[in-house]
Structure 1
């Protein structure tokens, strides 16, 4: 069922490479208590292939790719239940460094916004070698700080991925000024990246539902023959397809016209609203279709339902993005909204 990120503008070799690599190495090991592990061997392989810093400039060791290529890699990782700081290292930390004119390198990075020297739920902080921080003083500032100079308290999200609390002594911290819009753009970039991941997870969930419903026999016939389950499958597939259309539109917008911040923010907000609501329905129907087996560690369903619910709450809640869409629609008015939707 999965339609994946539009691949007409993406080198098929890239798509084949990441899918082959992640199919061999995934899923990421996840302990029910300690959470997921950081696969350093796989990370080094991705860096060797130029995939860990896919969108970074070539003169800084990156590949100079765009959002479509990055979405293909991030989506493939989600589809194979591979958990790595691809989004944080490249699309967030790497982008912040570029905005500040700071050099990048092969050190594993994540990014966060500091408030009084503190940031919560920072992805992968405990495994990062450097943390790119953004904070507001007289203006917005960026610094590339060694993780060893920060206090890190470990935490995790619902899927067991690292989401750590970070503290740094602001007295000894100096940064490079960046434009005021960088803070908002960082959130928008993180929000879109999470939408890509959620969308791919939902498609894998639908695939698992179809497989289970067509192979599991109850009362002498496959579950897929029961009309109630057919309706649930159809609803889940429809919501997943709607989410995919919205996410692909936002990725196209980010890749081709990111300078139009108003239109880009609206496209990303729409994508996040769609994937957020889709996640509720798809995850609920998936567990109803699978029954008890879907709640076990032995079954792969949790590798996609838990991340989907976790990712949809990061870089803005569903309610937040619903409000952004509603506010933009009201501000545009009837004629303006139609133009915005059809652009």
Structure 2
């Protein structure tokens, strides 16, 4: 990137020098002609030498940076950060702001966000189970008042309007997100990266958010378990008993993010990673960039959420007395998710109705098909 800039600067300097040459050198006399020939000879030599050094410099930068991909991403991002990233929903930003304002909590700046397509909003599908989780949870039903459902296609938007208060249509020209997006398919990757860029817009509008996949069951209020000093807090597929350990395996399906300059810069940096790690989804890229010096440079405070409270099928929480959320992660296929989420709901209902909460009623019977 630096070599490319030098090349552009060298080219620009040459153009200015040629246009500013004294007019007298272009007219009259053999002496002047000889001077012009002599000047052109050395000018051409200088240009060739400059091009040679610039070419060598570019080769050096590319070879050097290819060994450190996240450093290359950081350098490229620093060049890009002064330019605005196109906002996919820029023509609907006012509508989005009104939706967020209506859904915000008492602090007027915190919302809960989930994204859905038509496949997940069919009656008796994931969306209905998501809503039921809030209703059967321990003092969680009121949180539904603060959930913004971001619909990725028209069918999902229409379905949301039938059963929920706060719906926002985030359609993409030329892309149909309505079908089941199989894990790591092209549509799946586009959907995941669209989500990251949308969440960056929410942060820029000044709103904190809890992002939740719709296959996360909210069974208790999570806000009491969030860290007061964390900018970006995220659930884990696997948790290694230390909430600041970068070796934890984060899961992008549940996170709490505060709106500030650090998180906005982080989401821009994260989104830029899709072009430098093609074929990777957002969670894979997060696992690479979380170690990058850029994160420390901007002062971002990352916190990892304990699976004892924020569990999933990858690593189920052991004790239902502690559980806050249960995520149908490590599970491929819509039908498999539906089966095991229904078991989660049955387990929770049995736990909540049991007067004698023994070891049997205090633990999950899932994952069954998943996991």
What is the TM-score normalised by the length of structure 2? 0.29
Q: Which has more helix, going by share of residues?
A: 1
What is the TM-score normalised by the length of structure 1? 0.30
